[in-house]
Structure 1
């Protein structure tokens, strides 16, 4: 089939590459180049880079406006496929392809509709998640579902690791669904069950609260890793916690209190302490927690809040 593909981050790249192998991708829509890093270097999106490698026409736009719609209409695609583009597809673009648009979404709809489904699933302590391909409609992530898969969430798996895995299995799911749409065998089923929302996460969502139990702190840490990145405050400055792990057999500590037990660095919660593995103090590089601790001029009364 003649397809138009919309996506932006790295998790959308496997879907683009798989679809390009099986179908005629006539254009790729992605968001405009963005400033990246401390030096704010203007950088194309991962999907833009992949599209260039594949020799595909690329439309860079942060809004799917009349100009984008006119170009897509000229290309006359039969179907649109979208994976984490970062913007809404509205009419008249929504109905421009003959078969409309399908969306690969990384959750078990209707649970976790929105921009950050994997992150919210991990933070909530869900035992499993997955991916679905559904028909795009004007309402947020509410269309009928063509296909889906389920995946267990590992006890120590971060949102980033889980999303990377789902991007690969989801790419195959999307391509198989497009194949079924091409041969007329695809069947969509309306969503059923209670809908929950997964809005985009901001920096406040990544602030760890050590007055809650260890399971909740660890789930949030994993859910916001690598973005927006877990942190606490140390002497009023942001102290990033890049990796930690549960430690049920360590001596209890008061919430937020940091101490060393048998050469391991722990921080207290409302229940069991967490072992700090990799940290990044304000203005410094990432380092093993033990190295950070040895470099402190005074290790008495260190508290994260």
Structure 2
């Protein structure tokens, strides 16, 4: 079966590898254009583009699937298209090209967390269970019928990065199995059932911590926005980046945002009990341990995160 693969970030690479290893004929890869990376803004291929090039697969680079890109997809003559975090909408003209349609691997249990940031939103919301589904892509936002499902426990220490890494590999197996079922004529699409929730793309503001929130909510947010866009607060008007905090049920009583030492631990007050800082990056400096950051403060008694 001839497969067009569409994807861009590193989490899509395991799926591309799984499809190739399963013996499918990947006739082309659709990915986003090369983007400037790092301080020197070096123009760099997407992880999927780089992997496709290494595998000797034709790469179609496009930020938008317009008429010209649709013609290239048609020329590749795929029987089915598999899509994992491509990062753009697929118009009806392109959706209609493969006879088996477009099969999307999505990292949530649809219809929960439809949108661009399902894993991040699940961690922030405190979900205990998440997963991935394969579904038939249609013009609505993640609304198509489901072909396959897997579940994954959200671990207490999970960040969105670590959870997405696990799902990228288990989801790759699910996608490959779904394509095999489609090829064998055994795929059985089922309408989505359950409560709909939305997972819009995170912004920088989503990473800002409100110290008046309970400790558990703050912990979930720091994990949900790690690695991107990152958790942060302000100190004397300057942005301070934070890695995920640890929950504490002991320690001194602190007002929200107030910082104090408890032995070797650096604590911050919240709307409930304090949380423990792990690593801190002051404005213009490198990330460092919370203890090293605290030693650089004249006195912690006057340190209040805003």
Report if TM-score (shorter chain) is over 0.5: yes
Asked if residue 73 in structure 1 is aligned to residue 74 in structure 2, the reply is yes
Q: Which deviates more from structure 2 when the two are superposed, residues 135-144 or residues 38-47?
A: 38-47
Matched with 2:16 is: 16
**Distance of 1:243 and 1:292 partners within structure 2:** 15
Matched with 2:42 is: 41
Runs of 4+ aligned structure 1 residues displaced above 2 Å come to 297-300
Q: Gapped runs of 5+ residues in structure 2?
A: none
Q: Is the 8 A contact 1:252 1:271 kept in 2?
A: no
Matched with 1:164 is: 165
**Distance of 2:14 and 2:261 partners within structure 1:** 43
Q: Is the 8 A contact 1:80 1:101 kept in 2?
A: yes
Q: Is the 8 A contact 1:243 1:279 kept in 2?
A: no
Matched with 2:3 is: 3
Q: Gapped runs of 5+ residues in structure 1?
A: none
Matched with 2:140 is: 139
**Distance of 1:294 and 1:194 partners within structure 2:** 49
- Give the Å deviation of 1:202: 0.2
3-state SS in 1 of match to 2:36: strand
**Distance of 2:94 and 2:20 partners within structure 1:** 21
What is the TM-score with the length of structure 1 in the denominator? 0.98
**Distance of 1:152 and 1:209 partners within structure 2:** 27
Q: Is the 8 A contact 2:219 2:244 kept in 1?
A: no
- Give the Å deviation of 1:300: 2.7
- Give the Å deviation of 1:243: 3.0
- Give the Å deviation of 1:249: 1.7
What is the TM-score with the length of structure 2 in the denominator? 0.98
Q: Which deviates more from structure 2 when the two are superposed, residues 35-44 or residues 283-292?
A: 35-44
Task: Give the CA RMSD over aligned residues.
Answer: 0.8
**Distance of 1:107 and 1:53 partners within structure 2:** 30
